[in-house]
Chain A
Amino acid sequence: MAKDSHPGSDAAALLAGMEDDLAKGMVPLRVFNNRQIYELELRRIFARSWVFIGHETELPNPGDYAVRHIGQDPFIFLRDDKGEIRVLFNSCRHRGVQICRAAMGNASEFVCPYHGWTYRNDGTLIGVPARSQGYRKLKLEDWGLFPAPHVTNYHGLVFANLDPEAIPFERHLGSYAWYLDTQLLLSEGGMEVIGEPYRWIVDANWKQGAENFCGDSSHTQMVHRSAIEVGVTGAAAAGAPGKSGLHVHDCDGHAISTRLAAPGQSVFWDYPEEVTRHFRPGRLSEAQFDFARRGVVHDGTVFPNFSYLHLGVTDSAERASAGFLTVRVWQPRGPGETEIWSWTLVPREAPDAYKQRAYEVSMSSFSPSGSFEQDDVAVWPGIARSARTVFAELNDIKLNYQMGMGEMSDSPHLQDWPGPGVAEASNAGEGGLRTFHNTWLRQMTRPV
């Protein structure tokens, strides 16, 4: 059974075998906590994928900034004095010191605390101490802060890509835009962020949350049983998998998981009328708008580590369920450590009182103290622990991702689904998770 294995050969051997593994619906356990795999991920995935930085509404005013990360690298997300959103490497060009030492704030310029190199908030170097004595030939224009090579603002969501050769974000998203746009464009004003993001540390691999949001509909009835028991949400939203669920996988490398009301019903994730009266197809197709109207739960991941969840819950026996959108980043901090960043968003036209209400229910369900999220992160560290075992290595343990695969499923693919991707009329499947790992493998083995 046990084969001789040297820790040094792990990553190459794991990747070499993974195409066959995934074809059989299996994923090697070790990818969830392996130093070599992780170091490759930082370079092959995070340094050359579109990574979520923040939302434009976090920076309402010129000079507003916030520190964000791509992989583990710090960047300043800011709105310069001309109103342009920029993503700049948080490192002085002189000695490398972090020039931005607060997590958020407002600044028209950044002064390095070490020697005083000074940058305008568009990244241009504008001052160097003792320049006339010792830096007479320095060309300021050559020594500005490094910008992320590509930055895009996609309906308010700002993504950056560190790969100079990167494909445009729209191509990375591909036809999956059909689903993402449905979350963002229901009202004319789009979505806005409420408050500062949550940040917290979980001893689990970053892929855990990313794959979960791709369509792990069968975990809810078990992990979230306590939340269902007390009536935070109904069985329709979080109960056992069934025919109310619709999964879409293999959608240009991304996936979405849904629970939908019957055709003709209007749910809109439990947004109240004071919000839904601002919803109209507008920039969406009728089919997209109908998809939103029937939405009980929508959740998905834009590869690699940006996930979203649109749903309605309540926080008290006396109050009605209320809808909100939460987006999050599974920021890697090591092979077995993730920092979760999460934001709550609501349609911009919603009344202020509703925005506050949406924040409260989001906090009560999907946050470090949330009735749902607490229990997800309670189990994920167990996977990271198993993944680094000698036993997993010696036995080359593969995990089972076969749910709903081929003849495992009791229902055929939907042929008449109006949206892109492969649609399944049941959510008793893990096709979205397989999509995630296939995209991951493609990116990990793509030539430099």
Chain B
Amino acid sequence: MAVAAMMDERMEAACTRFLFREAELLDRRMFDDWLGLLDSAIDYRIPVRTTRLAQDGGGFSAVAHFMKEDLGTLTLRVRRLDSDYAWAENPPTRTRRLVTNVRVSEMETADGRAVTSNFAVYCYRGDNPTPVILTGERQDVLSGPVGALRLRRRLVLLDSTVLGMESLSIFL
């Protein structure tokens, strides 16, 4: 019992550290290092959301996505950002990610461990002193042992329906 609880605490701390490390890499635009945190079978999705009546559910589309990625498509996105001519990110969006309310599942599935967190990303573009703030929940699955966790799945559930910024040229 005590050993199991310790294992859970170790795993919880490791998952939280993983998410903080990931946020650091993305804020610092270390995209190649970020790709290194991804499982080769990564399934990464940001569904489109529409405003629905309460009785009709959360409004997340099963079909429409802002991003629906695997390792190949995420790698191509990163390669494009290497270009000096990727104008949406040159000058870059300055981002600050706050990752909180981390909830680590006690159960492990074949894919890994479910980790849910809340996020806020503050996006500053140009000299606009007012950031666009994207918030939402991320439902992740982290694979691998404590010392070598990798992101296997990510479902980003945005709180907004109309995207309040001109492009989604950052990773969430």
Chain A interface (Cβ < 8 Å from any Cβ of B): 101-105, 194-204, 222-223, 225-227, 229-230, 232, 315-319, 339, 359-360, 363-364, 367-369, 371, 373-375, 377-379, 381
Contact = CB atoms under 8 A, between A and B. Distances in A.
Contacts of B88: 374-375, 377-378
B80 A226 contact: yes
B66 A369 contact: yes
A223 B85 CA distance: 7
Given A196-B61, A226-B80, A317-B72, A363 B66 contact: yes
Contact of A368 (B72, B77, B168): B168
B163 A200 contact: yes
B130 to A, nearest CB: 12
B162 interface: yes
Contacts of B48: 195-198
Interface residues of B, number: 39
Given A195-B64, A196-B64, A105 B85 contact: no
Given A229-B85, A369-B168, A374-B89, 15 more contacts: A101-B53, A102-B50, A105-B56, A195-B48, A196-B61, A198-B66, A200-B166, A201-B164, A202-B166, A229-B83, A359-B64, A363-B65, A368-B163, A374-B87, A377-B166
Contacts of B99: none
A369 B162 contact: no
Instruction: With a 10 A CB-CB cut-off, give which of A103, A318, A374 has the most chain B CB atoms.
Output: A374
Interface string B83-122: 1011111000000000000000000000000000000000
B interface majority secondary structure: mixed
A232 B81 CA distance: 13
14 contacts: A102-B53, A103-B50, A200-B165, A200-B167, A225-B83, A226-B85, A227-B80, A230-B80, A316-B76, A360-B68, A363-B66, A367-B66, A368-B66, A368-B163
Interface string B25-69: 000000000000000000000101011110010010101111110
B137 interface: no
A197 B89 CA distance: 24
A101 B54 CA distance: 11
A interface majority secondary structure: mixed
B86 A369 contact: no
B80 A198 contact: no
B50 A194 contact: no
A202 B162 CA distance: 11
A104 B50 contact: yes
B63 A196 contact: yes
Nearest to A379: B87
B70 interface: yes
Contacts of B169: 369, 374, 378
Contact of B166 (A201, A227, A319): A201
Instruction: With a 10 A CB-CB cut-off, give which of B51, B76, B169 has the most chain A CB atoms.
Output: B76
Contact of B162 (A200, A204, A316): A200
B112 to A, nearest CB: 24
Interface in B120-172: 161-169
A102 B52 CA distance: 5
A317 B76 contact: yes
A381 to B, nearest CB: 7
A225 to B, nearest CB: 4
Given A223-B87, A316-B73, A359 B63 contact: yes
B167 A201 contact: no
B79 interface: yes
Contacts of B168: 200, 368-369, 374
Contacts of A197: 48, 64
A378 B64 contact: no
A374 B161 contact: no
